[in-house]
Structure 1
Amino acid sequence: MHTRVVSTTQLTPGMIRVVLGGDDLAGFAMPDSTDAYVNLALPPAGAPYDEVFDPRAVRDEHPRETWPVRRRYTVRAWDPAAQQLTIDFVVHGDRGVAGPWAARAEPGDVLVLEGPSGGYRPDPEADWHLLVGDESALPAIAASLEALPAGARAVVRLICDSAEHEQPLATEADLDLVWVHRDRPDALLDSVRTLDAPAGRAHAFVHGEADEIRAIRAHLLGERGLTRQQMSCSPYWRHDMDDEAWREVKRDFVAAMDADLDPA
């Protein structure tokens, strides 16, 4: 489907919110998950096809070097009444593809996407919820917090570059939130190691940079006694790798992560 930019907002120095609309969103159906995502198709400059295109047709009819770049992004919010889709983009200057697109986006610009899909929602039967991640996981964590009811317990540990990159998070749950800054190695892992966990069964959402997530997962499994069934855990990206390079090694990385100490 294709959408058009309705508005953009600079949330922090490193994150831009893009609100999308358009007739195609009349058929948009959100899954029952708070980590719902869509797959974006971003054409290269000078692409020899229209701004509204079918990614499959492009692959069939055009050389590989002109194919759109694919990127997966979390749905930050969906307004079915207004038929508007909100996506928050992490931006690091000119690095990457989707971030620079978001930084340049203006109302009326076209964005082609497919989806949505998703797989996580806070378990209403859990005694408490642990949500850990970085900027890439922030949209899903924010959406999860908004879905938690009053009386739920949420422990959140988030890492970012500095205080100006922090964002307000809304929830009716009993919230224990700590922002951690990238001022030393293992800062996020240490924040999880030292947290005072509530009693009872946890349900965890742990997503972000690959090496950080692997270490935190090993801690939760090996030292906190969680099982794989109690966690949604995924390495979204890896330091010093672009998305294409990460995709090439991600399968092997996840396999190695699964071979770590695991009581399940």
Structure 2
Amino acid sequence: MYGEVVATERLTPQLVRVVLGGPGLEEFVLGEDADQYVNCFFLPEAAPYPVPFDDEAVRELPREQRPYPRRITVRAWDAERRELTLDIAAHGDVGYAGRWAGRAQVGDRLQFRGPAGGYRPHEDADAYLLVGDESALPAIATCAEAVPAGRPVVAVVEVEDAAGEVELTSPGALEVHWVHRAGRHDGLDDLLAEAVAALPRPTGVVSAFVHGEAAETRAVRRVLLREGIVAQERLSCSPYWRRGMDDEAWRAVKAAWVREVAAEPLD
């Protein structure tokens, strides 16, 4: 499947919105999870082929010519207009996804597989907690919009500074805490965990979504599980990236990291 860029918008210095349309989306069907994502394939500059391309054929090419896969959150799907909105974290020319989004122009094409997902706010929860950085902000936004009406939902989001903040909405009783890392040169791994630990303890059953930088999600997970704030079966926790590593280096060690975190003692 593929889409053609019909519009782009710089939402913040670190977040670019890309809207895809065109005949390549004819078979797109959005799933039921709130954190839906598509596996996008970003072409290197040396790619000797256009989009759409044959998956099997490109696997035979040298590594430097093959597309780089990245998971990108579905921010919105307009079934009537057949338009797919992706909000992509971008930090200048760092990272294939962000670099493509920052340069995207109307008519450019992006190939992907999916969608897929793994979390939807539990219908029977009494309260909801959504935590992450810019990389998780699109998913946090969609999860906030999927909370049952009237129920308390707290979002704790780390961004560079006030320019990185965006409006979040929810049918629930939404409370947003923005955490700025500008000026911080140490302690970044604990920045979100400290903010979460400082919150008033929610009452009742809590459904939580914690995604973003690996060390930070791990630290938040420790707070939530060791303090008994969230039951493990109601916690969606996933590392999207790792500070100090590029995409390829992180992909090489991510599975081992996830196993290590899952085996971590909680007492």
- Scaled by the length of structure 1, what TM-score is found? 0.96
Q: Which amino acid counterpart does residue 38 of structure 1 have in structure 2?
A: V
Matching of residues 104-253 of structure 1 within 5 Å: 104-182=103-181, 183-184=183-184, 185=187, 186-253=190-257
Number of residue pairs the alignment of both structures matches: 262
User: Per-residue CA shift, 1:58-102, capped at 9, x if unaligned?
Assistant: 114x23321111111111111111100000111111111111111
In structure 2, how many angstroms separate the alpha carbons of the residues matched to 1:70 and 1:174? Answer: 36
Residue 32 of structure 2 is aligned to residue 28 of structure 1: no
In structure 2, how many angstroms separate the alpha carbons of the residues matched to 1:115 and 1:179? Answer: 31
1:262 corresponds in structure 2 to 266
- Could you list the runs of 5+ residues in structure 2 that have no partner in the other structure? none
Residue 47 of structure 2 is aligned to residue 47 of structure 1: yes
- SS class of match (1:27): coil
In structure 2, how many angstroms separate the alpha carbons of the residues matched to 1:2 and 1:211? Answer: 33
Deviation at 1:46, TM superposition (A): 3.3
2:83 corresponds in structure 1 to 84
In structure 1, how many angstroms separate the alpha carbons of the residues matched to 2:91 and 2:162? Answer: 17
In structure 2, how many angstroms separate the alpha carbons of the residues matched to 1:145 and 1:53? Answer: 36
In structure 2, how many angstroms separate the alpha carbons of the residues matched to 1:171 and 1:227? Answer: 23
Deviation at 1:207, TM superposition (A): 0.5
CA contact (8 A) 1:41 1:55 kept: no
In structure 1, how many angstroms separate the alpha carbons of the residues matched to 2:177 and 2:241? Answer: 22
In structure 2, how many angstroms separate the alpha carbons of the residues matched to 1:57 and 1:116? Answer: 22
In structure 2, how many angstroms separate the alpha carbons of the residues matched to 1:176 and 1:170? Answer: 10
Q: Which amino acid counterpart does residue 5 of structure 1 have in structure 2?
A: V
Q: Which amino acid counterpart does residue 51 of structure 1 have in structure 2?
A: V
In structure 2, how many angstroms separate the alpha carbons of the residues matched to 1:224 and 1:159? Answer: 23
Deviation at 1:51, TM superposition (A): 3.0
Residue 59 of structure 2 is aligned to residue 59 of structure 1: yes
CA contact (8 A) 1:2 1:110 kept: yes
Deviation at 1:197, TM superposition (A): 2.3
**Percent identity for Structure 1 against Structure 2:** 50
CA contact (8 A) 2:156 2:178 kept: yes
- SS class of match (1:253): helix
CA contact (8 A) 1:218 1:261 kept: no
In structure 1, how many angstroms separate the alpha carbons of the residues matched to 2:104 and 2:142? Answer: 24
